[in-house]
Amino acid sequence: MRAWLCSRNAHKARELERLLPGWEIEPLDSDAYPPETGDTYYANARIKADFGRSAAPGEWILAEDSGLEVAALDGRPGVQSARYAPEGAPAIAKLLGELEGVAERGARYVSELVCLRPDGEEVRGTGTLTGRIAGEPRGTEGFGYDPVFVPEGEDCTVAELGNAWKEKHSHRARAARALLAALGAVVLLAGCGGTDRTSKRVLRAFFAGGPVARKLGTRFPHAPGTLPCTVRDRGKTVQATCATDISLVKPARAVVTLTEAWNHGAKAHTWFFFIRRDGTVQSVIQEGAPAPQS
Ligand code: IMP
């Protein structure tokens, strides 16, 4: 699949191509990007995505906004990370200068990914990486603040841990996994007849996080969708009914339930997908339940 990445940051294009296997990421190079005036990562990512959509209508569009939040600086540089100082040594020197003599060095990276599908539907993925700011820069891989960012549970900086480590654990890796899970959930639901507006709204809110997802998590908002379909069972074609339900039983966890009820023989199985906001997915199949009466 080919997607346009609305960014002039070559590091991001390279990282995202490794994080989204099978995607061909084409950086959208332009001098006409509008200014990033949003006060959230999402708002800035959406500004870039909207620009991409006008430049490449009907294509897959990908936009990302990210930043470093330092607790002792009240969350700065945050959404202003790219504009705090020129990327690399100057930004690191300014940051270490501001933190001179400061013992509390907690920080986190945030990545917000926005994908616009060719039909205009928005899918999101968010990822964070918590850690602390080191006393001096160490390491050569990664980019930006990586030489001074030490992830929680590690002694080395991200620049020392390297690009292979980033591929598994970075804020961008987590956002990419969440985006893939959100896209997968949309496809899963569509395949099972769960394409009503409520289910889309619930999924979108869940993967965006925040207060709407928390509110939805307190109830079971979605009536299941169903779709007759044909499945293969040991070489035989059988008619089945697929059903889906989304339950945000906890704001932190979505449960997409896919049920395939086979209408011949005595067998049925239920396939539960537990989809977390960081994009990790666990699936459990319960087999051999009696087939429901048609
Ligand atoms: P933007 O998302 O292009 O507006 O810029 C994000 C800025 O945040 C970058 O220029 C870096 O300074 C910083 N940043 C974001 N992600 C990373 C990362 O993975 N490593 C180091 N710095 C990062």
**From residue 124, how far is each of 225, 229, 233, 253 by CA, in Å?**
23, 29, 35, 16
Question: Does the structure show a pLDDT above 90 at 106?
Answer: yes
Better pLDDT: 196 or 145: 145
> Does 3.90.950.10 match the CATH number of domain 2-181?
yes
Overall average pLDDT of the 126-150 stretch: 97
Among 44, 81, 110, name the best residue to mutate to test ligand 1's pocket (greatest count of ligand atoms within 8 A of Cβ): 81
Q: Compute the distance between CA of residue 228 and CA of residue 221 in angstroms, rounded to an integer.
A: 23
Flag the least confident range among 35-39, 99-103, 139-143, 221-225.
Answer: 221-225
Q: What is the pLDDT of residues 16-42, one digit of tens each?
A: 988 998 899 999 989 999 999 999 999
pLDDT tens digits for range 244-269: 888 887 777 888 888 877 655 566 77
- What contacts 276, CB < 8 A, 6 or more positions away? 181, 252, 253, 254
pLDDT digits (tens, 9 = 90+) for 190-204: 888 877 888 888 888
CA of 285 to the centre of ligand 1 (A): 40
65 is catalytic: yes
What share of the chain has pLDDT > 90, as a percent?
54
Residue nearest to atom 23 of ligand 1 (CA): 144
Distance 165 CA to ligand 1 centre (A): 17
pLDDT score of 220: 66
Atom of ligand 1 nearest to the CA of 44: 4
Pocket test for ligand 1, best of 37, 66, 112 (most atoms within 8 A of CB): 66
Estimate the crossing angle of helix 171-191 against helix 10-19, to 10 degrees.
50
With pLDDT > 70 as the criterion, what percentage of the chain qualifies?
Answer: 95
Rounded mean pLDDT, 83-103: 97
**Do 115 and 62 touch, CB atoms closer than 8 A?**
yes
The number of residues making up the chain comes to 294
Catalytic residue, from 29, 31, 50, 65: name it: 65
Higher pLDDT, 219 or 11: 11
Residue 228, pLDDT > 50, answer yes
Among protein residues, the one with the nearest Cα to ligand 1's atom 8 is: 67
143 Cα–ligand 1 center, Å: 8
Cβ atoms 86, 28 nearer than 8 A:
no
Q: What is the pLDDT of residue 114?
A: 96
Pocket around ligand 1 at a 6 A CB cut-off: 9, 65-68, 81-82, 87, 91, 109, 142-146, 170, 172
Checking if the pLDDT of 140 tops 70, the result is yes
The closest-lying atom of ligand 1 relative to the alpha carbon of residue 79 is 4
Structural domain boundaries in the chain: 2-181, 198-289
Residue whose CA is closest, atom 11 of ligand 1?
A: 144
Angle, CA 183 vertex, CA 115 and CA 48 arms, to 5°? 5
Q: For residue 284, how far is its CA from the centre of ligand 1 (angstroms)?
A: 37
pLDDT at 199: 83
pLDDT of residue 257: 83
Atom of ligand 1 nearest to the CA of 67: 8
The pLDDT score that the predictor gives to residue 294 is: 43
The answer to which of 13-17, 85-89, 221-225, 235-239 has the lowest mean pLDDT is 221-225
- Tell me the chain's radius of gyration from C-alpha atoms: 22
Strands 2-5, 24-27: pairing is parallel
Q: How far is the CA of 111 from the centre of ligand 1 (A)?
A: 9
